[in-house]
């Protein structure tokens, strides 16, 4: 086929049309994500109608700005017969979750497994970290890579690039997407984001690139200040002016890549204005004793998964509960308790946010990516260590899980499939939660 059409539906959602295949990615098309922590910067009224024309659907990972339940349920009601590619790994399976929305044709997609969508188009999924994934799509002469949210060290990117081969079209993220631990001037932050984007593109060496995520805003009062450092389309246009590989559509636009003609953007008419922003309301506080019990249970489970060694590396974390006006001390492997008012807290959060973090499945990503807390201490060691251990445990990458992987064939394959990332991470020392590793 000579052409590929890309429809930019919203946030991190694209509809890629190659011949008879219409492959939909990560449809968060309305509402909020991360338990109210994020909102969409734009409302696209055509997104659902276009999304429902998909022949195939792929969800890159579990985060609710990608696997967005209300959007998926609405799409399943409109087109229950689209083929859904469900990621399956040793540490999780999306099969049951995606079937629960009402899709009738949900098929497992294993790691590094090439699957034909039709006689011209195939896909191969490359896992990164615990839950993130990239998707390599080949269709006729075209080689496309969806690299969204794959935070890999440069050496790992280069190793995978040699395996994947030529990349004609790259789809990648460009904004920060979670709590920022370090304090940086807004303009300096934007420059940093642009530099990371450019380094990623240079490592993957595509012919052309669409930067398409994230188009969200932070809804919590604790992190609304981060909105000022989010990149917008004007900054991306500036990148495109000095690098001809960049193609910058707005939400709702269509991009036509043609082997015989220059790339063309068909703009949505009329163009979309930014949506109004709303601050998240957590509602009633969690009763103090309930919160203590729930947090204590998770703390003890964490210590077990880290072979009772985590306490040596993870300092106590003191949380100021804004709704209770009390301080909570978290100690790995020990019951939570009230901290003395004289002890300076590291972070501040609503009790509902702490419940999300430590008492709900996948709440770790929700709390940290959703930016449900305010950093109070310039020394972020305690919160970064707690973020790291909770994220590793939730993704089943803690020491206990890794030992289990080593003991089983499927588990050893799980680790081998991440070999480029593991080697680059271990030798590069880039293991901090919430930090770019490039």
Fold of 288-397: Nonspecific Lipid-transfer Protein; Chain A (3.30.1050)
pLDDT band at 433 (very low <50, low <70, confident <90, very high): very low
Q: What is the mean pLDDT of the chain?
A: 94
Cβ proximity of 286 and 352 under 8 Å: yes
**In degrees rounded to 5, what are phi and psi of residue 72?**
-70, -40
Q: What is the mean pLDDT of residues 9-38?
A: 98
d(CA 181, CA 165): 36
The whole-number pLDDT of residue 431 equals 47
Q: pLDDT of 73-100, one tens digit each?
A: 999 999 999 999 999 999 999 999 999 9
Q: Which fold has domain 3-266?
A: Metallo-beta-lactamase; Chain A (3.60.15)
Question: What's the pLDDT tens digit per position in 111-140?
Answer: 999 999 999 999 999 999 778 999 999 999
In this structure, the strands spanning 326-330 and 216-218 are unpaired
Q: At 339, list the tokens.
A: 């901290």
What is the distance between the alpha carbons of residues 315 and 5, in angstroms, rounded to a whole number?
51
Confidence of residue 434 (pLDDT cuts 50, 70, 90): very low
* pLDDT in the model for residue 426: 82
Residue-level pLDDT at 427:
77
Nearest to 9 by CA among 38, 40, 32: 40
Give the range among 10-19, 216-225, 282-291, 357-366 with minimum mean pLDDT: 357-366
CB 85 within 8 A of CB 116: no
CA angle, 149 then 151 then 154, to 5°: 135
Condensed to tens digits (0 to 9), the pLDDT of residues 302-346 reads 888 887 777 778 999 999 999 999 999 999 999 999 998 889 999
Give me the helix-helix angle, 154-164 and 186-204, nearest 10°.
30
**Residue 210, SS3?**
strand
Which residues lie closer than 8 Å to 392 by C-beta, 6 or more apart? Answer: 130, 398
Angstrom distance (rounded) from CA 222 to CA 225: 8
- Cβ 255 vs Cβ 8: under 8 Å: yes
* Least confident interval from 31-35, 287-291, 425-429: 425-429
Q: Is the pLDDT of residue 435 over 90?
A: no
Is the fold of 3-266 the same as that of 288-397?
A: no
DSSP strand pairing (83-89 vs 105-109): parallel
C-alpha–C-alpha distance, residues 179 and 103, integer Å: 33
How far, in Å, are 118, 285, 373, 415 from residue 288 at the CA level?
Answer: 56, 8, 18, 41
2 pLDDT tier (thresholds 50, 70, 90):
confident
Joined together, the tokens standing for residue 26 give: 């990560």
Direct distance between the N- and C-terminal alpha carbons of the chain, in angstroms, rounded to an integer: 35
Q: Is 64 helix (H, G, I), strand (E, B) or coil?
A: coil
Compute the average pLDDT of residues 179-190.
Answer: 94
So what's the pLDDT on residue 75? 98
pLDDT number for residue 1: 63
Taking the whole predicted model, whether its pTM rises above 0.75 is answered as yes
Work out the average pLDDT over 141-162.
93
374: pLDDT strictly greater than 60: yes
Residue 154, helix vs strand vs coil: helix
Q: Minimum mean pLDDT among 249-263, 296-310, 422-436: which range?
A: 422-436
For residues 209 and 423, the model is more confident at 209
CA of 212: how far to CAs of 3, 14, 83, in Å? 20, 8, 24
Average pLDDT value for residue range 274-283: 97
List the chain domain ranges: 3-266, 288-397
Q: What is the pLDDT of residue 438?
A: 55
pLDDT one-digit tens code per residue, 235-248: 999 999 999 999 99
Least confident of 65-74, 128-137, 278-287, 343-352: 128-137
């Amino acid at each position: 086929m000579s052409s590929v059409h890309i429809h930019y539906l919203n946030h991190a959602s694209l509809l890629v049309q190659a011949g008879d295949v219409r492959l939909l990615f990560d449809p968060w098309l309305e509402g909020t994500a991360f338990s109210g922590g994020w909102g969409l910067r734009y409302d696209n009224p055509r997104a659902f109608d276009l999304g429902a024309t998909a022949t195939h659907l792929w969800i890159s990972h579990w985060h609710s700005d990608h696997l967005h339940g209300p959007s998926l349920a609405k799409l399943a009601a409109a087109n229950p017969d689209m083929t859904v590619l469900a990621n399956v790994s040793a540490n999780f399976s999306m099969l049951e979750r995606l079937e629960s929305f009402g899709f009738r044709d949900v098929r497992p997609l294993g790691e590094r497994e090439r699957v034909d969508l039709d006689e011209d188009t195939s896909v191969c999924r490359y896992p990164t970290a615990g839950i993130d994934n990239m998707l390599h799509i080949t269709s006729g002469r075209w080689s496309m890579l969806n690299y969204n949210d794959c935070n890999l060290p440069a050496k790992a990117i280069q190793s995978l690039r040699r395996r994947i081969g030529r990349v004609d079209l790259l789809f990648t993220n460009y904004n920060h997407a979670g709590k920022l631990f370090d304090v940086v001037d807004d303009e300096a932050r934007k420059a940093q984001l642009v530099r990371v984007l450019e380094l990623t593109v240079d490592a993957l060496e595509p012919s052309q690139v669409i930067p398409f995520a994230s188009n969200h805003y932070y809804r919590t009062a604790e992190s609304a200040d981060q909105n000022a450092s989010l990149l917008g389309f004007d900054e991306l246009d500036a990148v495109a002016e000095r690098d001809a590989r960049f193609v910058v559509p707005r939400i709702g636009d269509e991009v036509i890549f043609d082997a015989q003609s220059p790339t063309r953007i068909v703009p949505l008419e009329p163009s979309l204005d930014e949506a109004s922003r709303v601050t998240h309301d957590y509602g009633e506080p969690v009763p103090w004793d309930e919160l203590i019990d729930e947090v204590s249970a998770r703390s003890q489970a964490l210590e077990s998964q880290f072979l009772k060694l985590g306490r040596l590396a993870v300092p106590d974390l003191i949380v100021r509960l804004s709704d209770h006006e009390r301080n909570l001390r978290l100690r790995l492997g020990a019951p939570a308790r009230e901290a003395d008012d004289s002890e300076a807290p590291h972070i501040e959060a609503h009790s509902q946010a702490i419940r999300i973090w430590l008492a709900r499945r996948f709440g770790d990503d929700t709390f940290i990516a959703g930016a449900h807390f305010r950093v109070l201490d310039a020394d972020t060691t305690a919160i970064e260590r707690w973020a790291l251990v909770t994220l590793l445990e939730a993704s089943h990458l803690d020491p206990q899980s890794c030992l289990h992987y080593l003991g089983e064939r499927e588990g050893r394959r799980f680790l081998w499939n991440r070999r480029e990332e593991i080697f680059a991470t271990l030798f590069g020392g880039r293991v901090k939660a919430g930090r770019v590793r490039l």
